[in-house]
Amino acid sequence: MNELHYHRPKTLGEALELLKEGVPLAGGTALVPELGKTQAVIDLQDLGLDGLGLKKGAIEAGAALKLQILIEKKLKIPEALVAACHLEAGLNLRNMATLGGTIFSADGRSPLLTTLLALDVRVEMQPGGEEISLDDLLERRGEKDFRSLVTVVRIPVPQRLAYDQVARAPYDRPIVCAAVGRWKDSQESEAVRITLGGFGTRPIRVQNAEQEIAKDGQVEKATAAAAKAYAKAEDAWASADYRGHAAGVLVRRLLMEVLG
Amino acid sequence: MLIRFILNGQETEVEAPESMTLLTLLRERLGLFGAKHGCETGECGACAILLDGRPVNSCVMLAAQAHEHEITTIEAVGEHPQQGWKSTSGLDPIQQAFVETGAIQCGYCTPAMVLAARALLERNRNPSESEVREAMAGVLCRCTGYLKPVQAVLRAAAVLRGEAVDPVTAMIPAPEVFSPPMDDLGFEDFGMRGPDFQTSTQVMPNIHTQPQTEGRSAVGKPAAKVDAVKLVQGKPAFTADVEMRGMLIAKVLHSPVAHARIKRIDASEARALPGVAAVLTWEDLPRVAYSTAGQSDPIPGPLDSFSLDHKARFVGDRVAFVAAESEAIAQQALALIDVEYEELPIILDPEDAMKDGAPLIHDEPEFVDFADSDASRNLAAAIRIDIGDVEKGFSEADFILEGTYHSPKVQQAHIEPHVVVTYWDEDDRLVIRTSTQVPFHVRRQLAPVLGLPSKRIRVVKPRIGGGFGGKQEVLIEDVAAHLTIATGRPVRFEYTRAEEFFASRARHPMRLKLRTGVKKDGTITANEMLILSDTGAYGCHALTVTGNTGHKSMALYVGDGPYRQSPNIRFHADIVYTNTMPSGAYRGYGVPQGFWAVERHMDKVARKVGIDPLEFRLKNTLRAGELHPFSTAWSEGREPRPETINTCGLADCIRRGAEAIGWEEKFNNPDWQVVPGKPHLRRGVGVAAVMQGTAIPYLDMGAATIKINDDGSFNLLVGATDLGTGSDTVLAQQAAEVLGVRVEDVVVYSSDTDFTPFDKGAYASSTTYISGWAVVRAAQQAAERIRARVAHMLSKDGRSVAAEDIRLAEGCGWAPDGRSVSLEEAALNALHHEDQEQIMGAASYMSPVSPPPFAAQFAEVTVDVETGQVRADRLVMAVDGGVIVNPLTAAGQVEGGMTQALGYALCEELSYDPKGWARETSFREYHIFAANEMPILQTIFVETMEPSHPFGVKAVAEIPMNGVGPAVGNAVYNACGADVDRAPITPERIWKALGGLD
């Protein structure tokens, strides 16, 4: 029988070396039920990756920071991000699940991932210290030879952030959800980021909708673009017609909220 | 690896495999059974412990992760307040509050809730209700509806702050500020989540009593549950909470295909795997056709199941059994069993089941028909009932309204999965320790399957972690029993949560066609229901569940005027096989499906004739003194016999419920229906009138024995199975009332087929009534002997007193002149001093009637008319359950039932992909309501004095399932005009009903 090997490295170097033979173990909430044929796990809890602070206008969080710690008001973080954490999991799981683990394991129906994507989150990877966007990471995380460790999650603090969802019950997983962040970009002009979730393996960014806002600030056009982005988002949980419609409604409301 | 941690204050070292979860380590290595297994994905939270003071779920945590941390389990919290000479600090204030407020039902999730509360109150002694709900939201409870646990935590917080708390019979002081849950989180504008405020913390329900109940000492009082102290400490009271030397772990190989013959099965590699004790396939077992439905003899359904068969009939059907030294080895062995399947065409849609050329799901020659079952047409059961002259009734109508309704396949989702331990005892008798609602049926029904006479089987039922009908099934006991027979060793078999979802039982999904004839004045002239019910791959409960659909939901509307004396009712049903997980018993037993359709339909009929829905219901529904219309047409038990309704508090329920929800101010009031500042939101209220039964007449039987002890206490032995409902407590209360003692002086034990008398089990809303009657009779026998003894003792001084003049109260026998003898003195006299005898009683009861409870269910909702999202804001249920024996436990039944029913209304549904694979296999997909998303719940008891029971009792347990769905559906219509006739009422269905993209 294959016996699982458990490692708890004390240094990042040790951890990176161990990545060759196993997978990172953050809170365990996603990995432990799926251990299956995993040969080895590398528990990140002793690496000091659970810091939380503000740096250059962004929240800088260690990847092993527990979701519940993130929202316990040590920092003033956007209320919609707090809400998304609450919707992501109940308290017991938030006491276990980490920011990095959620980024790696959550699917398209994740309120938190949808919100983080709207925040233009960037992650620092090791080895190498490369910083990439969450968008890029979501594309790469499923690759077979992906052997990097996310160590830091940088969450830009927007001027406004809003999140909303449609679900069968208040804390059910969303059928459709959306997040909109608004801030001044590097040229000090207004910009919004619009994301949709509730479907598929990952949430998506709706750049067409963002461009409509950037172009002439027309909410209705952005709404139509959001609806179109989910026009084929059909699965056992909802029809594409419904998802497209609801996506449009949510994006319209969120835009009114952040732009108003 | 060697794991070190501080466990309950003690430095602890333990060697454990690196793959072992913390839950397994605690339970199997350290013998700490307070953390429970409810799932494997961390969603239910029954396994919660405190890690460094925070609640975490130990099933999704490797034990190694806890290395060098501090762990607190329920075993470190409180202790029994009375331990003989040893002084104890007693229960923790949180535990005490849980006991007092009735916050414990099955008790399976209670340790986790207590720990979650402890973590909260250590940080915050003055939490708001919303903070309490948020803190409890990591623990799912299927019994309580969370109201009483929340009240318990608020009460404990007050105690910990040093405040005096009122007795539970009074109002508990409410926190000063009731804030919306989301306010605390800082996003007030989250308009569609959480009600604006939560309910009050009044523990006692609103109860309207009958004058005849005055003066009672035990019945009608909010006694603490007799098992509460045990459960709140997380004592090893459940089936899996045992250690046995040499115990094997069982696993089942489930079919990956929906319909197939097993052409070849080779288990040789699996058998050769070290650590495997046995592998059983269909080739190893005798071929005995039976039914898994736990029902009285003869089973009212086809015998169409085998422990193992050479055919698989749904994805999840059994293919082989394995017993091994560990779960990991058993899992590995499953993968080594080589099976060649010859796949067959499948039926997933019940509409296809009886079409020409449909594949036959049961073509086995051993199939045994019952009544109108016909395997050659995939028909598990059929019902044709016509009462009165239905066609004449329709011809007399001014309008005929038709409608088609669908009710979903939903799961019982008890937090304790199905679990069983089997072993041979020293007398070579097979002991089956199992989480079952029907221990006596398990013994009788498994005897032929195992090749053992009943007398060589002993079934022990410990505490049950919820059942709701799912454990009225002889579902997995045979697996462990066969493996114990094969190996000679103890075997434990416990379902995973995924197995619960794809390989157990569920509520029968139905298509219900309704046709109602009505006069312009609102008089119903005829009512017709045609059902297509899907029993899945096996016909367990097929006939009786669907029979009850009509028997209850179609009995309520008899019409008015002359139609009351001769209602015209048609009820036809076909119950068909499909290649899906079997349906079975689920709380309500067919009736929620019926009322989903009837009560949605009646709202439309009332609309058509322009009559207020409350008035329409009052005009047409059954009343006291009238014949139960189905009583002469169909019975679940024996031949039908006429039965008159003695008591019916429905009109009062409607009136009081309407008052509580503010019907007058809200219904069709456009000013109230809009939400200021939120033009996309609309509010609405809805109602449903419902009824149920109380036991199955001429069939259900319960029995009890009672004996006095030296100290004047009593042992009450009952076969009735308390599955968390509190039935042990209400039986003890009835005995205490007869014997004039305190409830705590009645020590209840249930149930063990060797030691307790027969009881048919916990189903059909029967225990308080049927088993209660048996307890009363047994107690009366004992009381008679006590009176004679006391009279004899008091007459010794020459002042003669007759036995019949002795009154039993306050633990004494009292003469009319005020002299008394304590029951302890009477017991010592009887057992030791003179003319010795064991004062005892033994009795049973079978009822000739099934007095229906009635209820009015009200719902208030808010609908987002742009997305179709709906939020339930308030549920009010006014119930006529006869005299309420225990207002706390009964209210808990109503609150928990409404909560389950709310899931059924809004979010619960089992579905299958085109190959028959279950879409929902965990609580992540199958959402059940958590503490932080509940509407306000309000229970009102409108008592009636049912003359067929000595204390006036009817049932409460199942009726809360019946009205929430249609009341919510009617409220949605009232809010926005969307008629959703398919449950659950999802956002997309509302959106489509509002026109969708049109």
The per-residue pLDDT for range B897-920, each reduced to its tens digit, is 999 999 999 999 999 999 999 999
**CA R_g for chain B:** 28
pLDDT score at B195: 38
Assess whether A172 and A114 both reside in one domain: no
Assess whether B452 and B365 both reside in one domain: no
Q: How far apart are CA B972 and CA B870, in angstroms?
A: 8
pLDDT score at B795: 97
Assess whether B829 and B854 both reside in one domain: no
Mutual orientation of helices B887-906 and B147-160 as an angle, nearest 10°?
130
Q: How far apart are CA B774 and CA B976, in angstroms?
A: 51
Q: How far apart are CA B497 and CA B928, in angstroms?
A: 13
| Chain A: closest CA distance from residue B114 (Å) | 13
| Chain B: closest CA distance from residue A207 (Å) | 23
Assess whether B314 and B359 both reside in one domain: yes
Exposed/middle/buried for residue A78 (C-beta within 10 Å: 0-12, 13-18, 19+): buried
Contact between B132 and B183 (Cβ < 8 Å): no
Assess whether B732 and B664 both reside in one domain: no
> Which among B502, B530, B558 is the end of a domain?
B502
Output B476 or B997, whichever has higher pLDDT. B476
Summarised one tens digit per residue, pLDDT across range B880-892 is 999 999 999 999 9
| Chain B: closest CA distance from residue A189 (Å) | 27
Assess whether B734 and B586 both reside in one domain: no
For B119, list phi and psi in degrees, rounded to 5: -60, -40
What percent of chain A stands above pLDDT 70? 97
Band of pLDDT at residue B166, cut at 50, 70 and 90: confident
Has residue A1 got a pLDDT over 60? no
B contacts of A3 (beta carbons < 8 Å) = 17-19
Assess whether B462 and B514 both reside in one domain: no
Q: Average pLDDT of A105-128?
A: 96
Nearest CA in chain B to A90: B138
Has residue A198 got a pLDDT over 60? yes
Cβ atoms within 10 Å, residue A208: 15
Q: Is B264 on the interface with A (CB under 8 A)?
A: no
Give the residue ranges of DSSP H helices in B102-235: 110-123, 129-136, 147-160, 181-185, 228-232
> Which among A139, A156, A173 is the end of a domain?
A156
Band of pLDDT at residue A186, cut at 50, 70 and 90: low
Assess whether B907 and B890 both reside in one domain: yes
Q: ∠ at Cα A33 (A28, A38), nearest 5°?
A: 85
What percent of chain B stands above pLDDT 90? 94
What percent of chain B stands above pLDDT 70? 97
CATH, residue A204 = 3.30.390.50
Give me the number of domains chain A comprises.
3
Q: Average pLDDT of A133-155?
A: 91
Which amino acid would we find at residue B80? H
Which tokens go with B204? 């006692």
B contacts of A77 (beta carbons < 8 Å) = none
| Chain A: closest CA distance from residue B17 (Å) | 8
Nearest CA in chain A to B135: A91
B contacts of A245 (beta carbons < 8 Å) = 867, 991, 996-997
Which tokens go with A105? 């394991």
Assess whether B536 and B608 both reside in one domain: yes
Parallel, antiparallel or unpaired: strands B430-434 and B457-460: parallel
Q: Which residues pair with B809 in a beta bridge?
A: B812
Band of pLDDT at residue A56, cut at 50, 70 and 90: confident
Q: Which residues pair with B534 in a beta bridge?
A: B576
**B932 belongs to a structural domain:** yes
Assess whether A149 and A170 both reside in one domain: no
Best CA proximity match to B534, nearest among B911, B259, B984, B898: B911
Which amino acid would we find at residue A183? W
A246 and B18 within 8 Å at the Cβ level: the answer is no
Cβ atoms within 10 Å, residue A146: 13
Best CA proximity match to B905, nearest among B825, B840, B846, B970: B970
**CA R_g for chain A:** 19
Average pLDDT, chain A: 94
Which tokens go with B6? 């501080």
Assess whether A22 and A61 both reside in one domain: no
Has residue B452 got a pLDDT over 50? yes
Give the residue ranges of DSSP H helices in B586-678: 591-609, 613-620, 650-661, 663-666, 670-673
Assess whether A61 and A122 both reside in one domain: yes
Nearest 10 degrees: CA dihedral of B819, B825, B831, B835?
A: -30
| Chain A: closest CA distance from residue B931 (Å) | 10
Assess whether A190 and A97 both reside in one domain: no
Assess whether B862 and B841 both reside in one domain: no
> Which among A116, A137, A156 is the end of a domain?
A156
Has residue B852 got a pLDDT over 80? yes
CATH, residue A59 = 3.30.465.10
Q: Average pLDDT of A102-111?
A: 97
Has residue A92 got a pLDDT over 60? yes
pLDDT score at B982: 98
Between the CA of residue B777 and those of B218, B598, B705, B784, B950, what are the distances in Å?
16, 39, 9, 11, 10
**B816 belongs to a structural domain:** yes
Contact between A118 and A194 (Cβ < 8 Å): yes
Q: Which residues pair with B860 in a beta bridge?
A: B685, B874
Q: How far apart are CA B692 and CA B226, in angstroms?
A: 27
Assess whether B142 and B45 both reside in one domain: no
**B217 belongs to a structural domain:** no
Contact residues for B670 (Cβ-Cβ < 8 A; gap 6+):
none
Q: Is B166 on the interface with A (CB under 8 A)?
A: no
pLDDT score at B179: 36
DSSP code of residue A210? H
Task: Note down the domain range covering A11.
Answer: 5-43
Q: How far apart are CA B308 and CA B483, in angstroms?
A: 12
CATH, residue B886 = 3.30.365.10
Q: Is B867 on the interface with A (CB under 8 A)?
A: yes
Band of pLDDT at residue B192, cut at 50, 70 and 90: very low
Best CA proximity match to B967, nearest among B909, B902, B900, B917: B902
Task: Note down the domain range covering B100.
Answer: 93-202
**B392 belongs to a structural domain:** no
**B620 belongs to a structural domain:** yes
| Chain B: closest CA distance from residue A4 (Å) | 5
pLDDT score at A260: 81
> Which among B173, B202, B231 is the end of a domain?
B202
Assess whether B43 and B125 both reside in one domain: no
Has residue B177 got a pLDDT over 50? no
At which residue do the structure tokens 């059928």 appear?
A175
Between the CA of residue B750 and those of B172, B475, B613, B701, what are the distances in Å?
33, 21, 45, 15
- Which of A92, A102, A177, A199 is the best mutation test for B, with the most CBs of B within 10 A? A92
Band of pLDDT at residue B170, cut at 50, 70 and 90: low
Q: How far apart are CA B944 and CA B435, in angstroms?
A: 34
ipTM > 0.85? yes
B55 and A95 within 8 Å at the Cβ level: the answer is yes
Q: How far apart are CA A168 and CA A178, in angstroms?
A: 16
Has residue B349 got a pLDDT over 70? yes
Q: How far apart are CA B906 and CA B972, in angstroms?
A: 11
Q: Which three-class secondary structure state does DSSP give residue A122?
A: strand
Contact between B43 and B60 (Cβ < 8 Å): no
Best CA proximity match to B340, nearest among B449, B252, B255: B255
**B375 belongs to a structural domain:** no
Summarised one tens digit per residue, pLDDT across range B684-695 is 999 999 999 999
Give me the number of domains chain B comprises.
6
Q: How far apart are CA B564 and CA B88, in angstroms?
A: 63
Q: Average pLDDT of B592-606?
A: 98
A171 and B116 within 8 Å at the Cβ level: the answer is no
> Which among B817, B846, B875 is the end of a domain?
B846
Q: How far apart are CA B320 and CA B339, in angstroms?
A: 10
Contact residues for B254 (Cβ-Cβ < 8 A; gap 6+):
B315, B316, B317, B318, B319, B499, B502, B503
Summarised one tens digit per residue, pLDDT across range B198-235 is 444 567 889 999 899 999 999 999 999 999 999 999 99
Nearest 10 degrees: CA dihedral of A127, A63, A191, A159?
A: -140
**B235 belongs to a structural domain:** no
**B183 belongs to a structural domain:** yes
Q: Is B191 on the interface with A (CB under 8 A)?
A: no
Exposed/middle/buried for residue B427 (C-beta within 10 Å: 0-12, 13-18, 19+): exposed
Assess whether B486 and B542 both reside in one domain: no
Q: How far apart are CA B484 and CA B425, in angstroms?
A: 11
Nearest CA in chain A to B3: A6
Which of A82, A91, A172 shows the shortest C-beta gap to B55?
Answer: A91
Summarised one tens digit per residue, pLDDT across range B327-341 is 999 999 999 999 999
Task: Tell me which residues of chain B, numbers 78 to 137, contact chain A at a CB-CB cutoff of 8 Å.
Answer: 116, 134-135, 137
- Which of A65, A82, A168, A180 is the best mutation test for B, with the most CBs of B within 10 A? A168
Q: Which residues of B555-581 are buried (b: 16+ CB within 10 A; e: fewer)?
A: bbbbbbeebbeebbbbbbbbbbbbbbb
Has residue B632 got a pLDDT over 80? yes
A contacts of B138 (beta carbons < 8 Å) = 90-95
Give the residue ranges of DSSP H helices in B815-886: 823-828
Best CA proximity match to A162, nearest among A103, A78, A88: A78
Q: Which residues pair with B401 in a beta bridge?
A: B516
| Chain B: closest CA distance from residue A140 (Å) | 25
> Which among A99, A128, A156 is the end of a domain?
A156
Band of pLDDT at residue B169, cut at 50, 70 and 90: confident
Cβ atoms within 10 Å, residue B342: 12
Between the CA of residue B187 and those of A58, A83, B416, B845, B895, what are the distances in Å?
21, 7, 36, 57, 28
CATH, residue B112 = 1.10.150.120
B contacts of A172 (beta carbons < 8 Å) = 907, 927
Which tokens go with A87? 């919707």
